[in-house]
A and B are shown apart, each in its own frame.
Chain A
Amino acid sequence: MTRKNKQSEQKEIGQQDIDQTYNKLKQDAEEGGHYLNPDADFTKALISGLLMNGQRYGYWACPCRLASGVRQEDLDIICPCDYRDIDINQFNACFCGLYVSNDVVKGKEKTSPIPERRPNFEERKKRREMKEMKEKKEQTTLPKLPIWRCTVCGYLCAREEAPDICPICKVTKDRFEKFM
């Protein structure tokens, strides 16, 4: 297990970086049928945290969760996380509040802190191992093309390998799981 030296952080996150990322995320969200939190100051504070985690870990770990520093262990909490859509459906916001429901944007609903849906460390480890075993088994028995599912937005595609970037929500290849 490798951990980056957290003391070696040097760069401050600049306002320009935050604003640029905010605009980009806002545009991507709207194109994909999602909504950034309309409280711009709050949202930019979260984005600053994301950028900081990007520097610290090399990936955008959720700013409201504790990242391990090991990408493979944190795949489910790389923003947008695997729990975003289900939390928005149930609580009108994702865990950290970066993304919200359309009702929040319209002012019909308000956001508040929500319970953590992410399973604990042992449970996640168990699930990862089960998934790996299942995928290994299927590789030897399935001759036809596998179907890959984006764990963030649910996009499905049948091809030898998952795409490098999800064409719908833009997350990376390692966020896909073998669906069939």
Chain B
Amino acid sequence: MFKDLGVEYSYVDVDLLQGKDQEEAVAEIMKWSGTQSFPTIVLDNKKVMLGFKENDIRDYCDKKK
């Protein structure tokens, strides 16, 4: 979807990480949202969104245009 929107993105499959890498990824998620929820999406390094709320993401990207 981000591709369709022409938005730059990167992602991590946290469940496929192991050991320390996974702990670090989880700590990062907890830092953003205070909870462990998937997907956790961070927009522009400031807004965090939990769960795949397609309409909300599209709205956010539209507003930026």
Contacts and interface: CB of A to CB of B under 8 A. Distances in A.
Answer whether A and B are interacting partners.
yes
Interface of A: 3, 6, 64-67, 112-116, 118, 120
Given A6-B16, A6-B18, A66 B51 contact: no
A6 B16 CA distance: 7
A112 B51 contact: yes
Contacts of A112: 51, 53
B26 A3 contact: no
Contacts, number: 31
B15 A113 contact: no
Interface of B: 14-16, 18-19, 22, 26, 35-38, 50-53
B15 A67 contact: yes
A63 B39 CA distance: 11
23 contacts: A3-B18, A3-B19, A6-B18, A64-B38, A65-B36, A65-B38, A66-B14, A66-B22, A66-B26, A66-B36, A112-B51, A112-B53, A113-B50, A113-B51, A113-B52, A114-B51, A115-B35, A115-B50, A116-B36, A116-B37, A116-B50, A118-B36, A120-B35
